[in-house]
Amino acid sequence: MSSLPTSTPAAQGVDAAGIQAFLDALESDPRIEPHSLMLLRHGQVVASGWWSPYAPERPQLLYSLSKSFTATAAGFAVAEGLIRLDDPVISYFPEFEADITDPRSRAMLVRHVASMAGGHAEETLDRARALDRDELVRGFLLVPPDREPGTVFAYNQPATYTLGAIVQRVTGQKLTEYLRPRLFEPLGIGEAAWIHDRAGRELGFSGLHATTDAIARLGLLYLRGGVWEGERLLPGSWVAEATRVQIAHETGPEGGWPDWQQGYGFQFWISRHGYRGDGAYGQFCMVLPEQDAVLAITSETEEMQKVVDLVWEHLLPAFGPDPLSGREAADAALADRLRRLALPPAEGGAVTAQSTTVFTPATGTCADQPSLTAVEVGPGGRVTLVDDGERLELGPALGEEGWTVADEPVPVAVSSGRRDAETLVIDVAFLETPHHLLVSCAADDGTFTARWRTRPLHVGPLRRMRAPRGRG
């Protein structure tokens, strides 16, 4: 994989002080844990950094940022004449013809599912799964739309799933297989893997794992109107349609998230400035055409509007029209800071043990991860979790000395510390997701409690908290 070209902020007209202020704001807000960022201006990487133990080569679960990749696959399929936006969705699933009798469902077009405008007034995922657990497209089409398709916006996972299912049906390939020669290889995107459902399809609406660099490259492709290194990959007409308002939102609640009220394109949100793809807990691909800039971020936060607000507050004013002179020291200080980014490990000092202690669940306190049945802490602070009947040996937790990183059986970073004389706290960061599992072990009664700092949206045993391997 070739590296993107790099430059200093000043050479591209970006004030390093604005980037420093943005980093300060991210790191000082206890509600935000940043994991990575890449900032591009005029096609050059002017700032990039990963908060250790996160690293550039590691794929991340993008959650709903996956939708923008699904839209890109649909754009290729439209360009190749495999899909037409004004075809009825049902025409791609003739086996459901007799089942789908609601006239609004039958009138739903491909462009409607691409723009979250199928006519439903709210999310349909639970209802669609209840109607057909094995075939989500059928379940979705069985949920009667509340209004005429194309007249109302509702953020709706099965709409994107259906768009991705159409692509997979007409191409005969998984989304990753179809995108590999058309997007991933031309852009220099390396490892990418997508979670499958029980029907064998890649989800489309979530579940893609890719690097921060891949996010930045997708944003740059759209910023350049579908052209990459002088070669047109996506039609400019698709890029224009995908990134303009296809369906307006009804007015949101007072004090709501303004950057989620600006309208929706084809699996891209329109922002107060530019447009973006984003995913739960702070995964962003922000494209700023007026500034000729792209910002890719991965993080763990429930305050996504706050992250966007900080971009507008600190980064937007940092973009100037011309190169800046005399800023070598500021650029060097920023580069040094970006090289040293790190998350603090668990507090309380390093943990040692002479023998292995087995902790069992405290009664009624492990609902966050009920399949976790034992925690073992051995010599050197070595941690083993017993989850879903499987032993996950995660390595030693070094407390104040830093994080211990293990790639198998699941990619994690582990640290631990003493909350008090009787309580050991273990922080397990699942490095290919945004999530931390916090485990507290009580020495006095030999029990543990476990809670997710942010709850994973794809539930299951801990061994699945990673990018799928050997797929796509």
Torsions phi, psi for 147 (to 5 deg): -140, 180
Between CA 238 and CA 455, with CA 153 as vertex, the angle to 5 degrees is: 95
Residues 403, 407: Cα–Cα separation, whole Å: 13
Q: Would you write out the chain's pLDDT as a tens digit for each of its 472 residues? A: 568 999 999 999 999 999 999 999 999 999 999 999 999 999 999 999 999 999 999 999 999 999 999 999 999 999 999 999 999 999 999 999 999 999 999 999 999 999 999 999 999 999 999 999 999 999 999 999 999 999 999 999 999 999 999 999 999 999 999 999 999 999 999 989 999 998 899 999 999 999 999 999 999 999 999 999 999 999 999 999 999 999 887 655 455 799 999 999 999 999 999 999 999 999 999 999 999 999 999 999 999 999 999 999 999 999 999 999 999 999 999 999 999 999 999 877 656 666 789 999 987 656 688 899 999 998 877 899 999 999 999 887 765 568 999 999 999 999 988 888 788 999 999 999 999 999 999 988 999 999 999 999 998 899 999 999 854 3
Handedness of CA 353, 359, 365, 371 (dihedral sign): positive
- pLDDT, one tens digit per residue, over 23-34 is 999 999 999 999
> Into which CATH architecture does domain 10-79+166-339 fall?
3-Layer(aba) Sandwich (3.40)
- Domain map of the chain by residue range? 10-79+166-339, 357-464
- Tokens 């096609």 correspond to what residue? 43
DSSP 366-433: -TTSTTEEEEEEEGGGEEEEEETTEEEEEEE--GGG--EEE-SSS-EEEEEEEEETTEEEEEEEETTS
From residue 338, give the alpha-carbon distance in Å to each of 33, 36, 269, 332: 15, 10, 29, 10
Count, residues in the chain: 472
Residues 99, 144: Cα–Cα separation, whole Å: 12
Cβ–Cβ under 8 Å, residues 347 and 436: no
Torsions phi, psi for 413 (to 5 deg): -125, 135
Whether the bond between 53 and the residue before it is cis, its omega within 30 degrees of 0, is: yes
Per-residue model confidence (pLDDT) at position 398: 61
Per-residue model confidence (pLDDT) at position 43: 97
- Tokens 């109107």 correspond to what residue? 225
Query: β-pairing, 357-361 with 447-452?
Result: parallel
Per-residue model confidence (pLDDT) at position 471: 41
Torsions phi, psi for 287 (to 5 deg): -115, 125
Per-residue model confidence (pLDDT) at position 419: 80
Cβ–Cβ under 8 Å, residues 165 and 195: no
Residues 400, 350: Cα–Cα separation, whole Å: 5
Query: β-pairing, 193-194 with 227-228?
Result: unpaired
Q: Which residues, 6+ apart, have CB-to-CB distance to 472 below 8 Å?
A: 174, 175, 176, 177, 180, 192, 193, 194, 202
pTM to 2 decimals? 0.95
- Ramachandran category for residue 172: left, alpha or beta (phi over 0 → left; psi -120 to 50 → alpha): left
Tell me the HSE value of 8 on the side-chain side, using a 13 A CA sphere: 20
